[in-house]
């Protein structure tokens, strides 16, 4: 069973756009939570003590920022290897 992937983003953030494009481009199913328009998503982000967006949660693993290498490793470790 693969892990759930949740992206915490803001529509004005260019790094968030790159994160979402990466996930979509590699056919990784994910839920996007817009922290600018969804107070519950913003509260989840605060509880993770994240300094800002983008943040992606793969299962229980939280990655702050967009680093394709780290993200790919996290995805693979949860059975979600990047698929092109």
Is residue 82 included in any domain, yes or no?
no
Could you tell me the residue range of the domain that residue 36 belongs to?
Answer: 5-77
Using alpha carbons, select from 64, 56, 60 the residue that is nearest to residue 26: 56
Compare 68 and 83 and report the one with higher pLDDT.
Answer: 68
- Statement: residue 1 has pLDDT above 50: no
Report CA dihedral (65, 27, 5, 48) to the nearest 10 degrees. 10
pLDDT at 23: 96
Given a contact cutoff of 8 angstroms between Cβ atoms, the answer to whether 79 and 64 are in contact is no
The average pLDDT across 28-57 equals 95
Map residue 68 onto helix, strand or coil: helix
Domain count, the chain: 1
Mean model confidence pLDDT for the chain? 92
What is the pTM for the complete model shown?
0.91
The average pLDDT across 6-20 equals 97
pLDDT at 82: 57
- CATH number, domain with residue 46: 3.40.30.10
């Amino acid at each position: 069973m693969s892990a759930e992937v949740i992206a915490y983003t803001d529509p004005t953030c260019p790094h968030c756009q790159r994160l979402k494009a990466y996930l979509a481009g590699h056919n990784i199913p994910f839920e996007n939570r817009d922290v600018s328009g969804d107070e519950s998503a913003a509260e989840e982000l605060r509880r993770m003590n994240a300094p800002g967006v983008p943040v992606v949660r793969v299962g229980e693993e939280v990655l702050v920022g967009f680093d394709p290498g780290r993200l790919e490793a996290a995805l693979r470790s949860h059975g979600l290897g990047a698929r092109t």
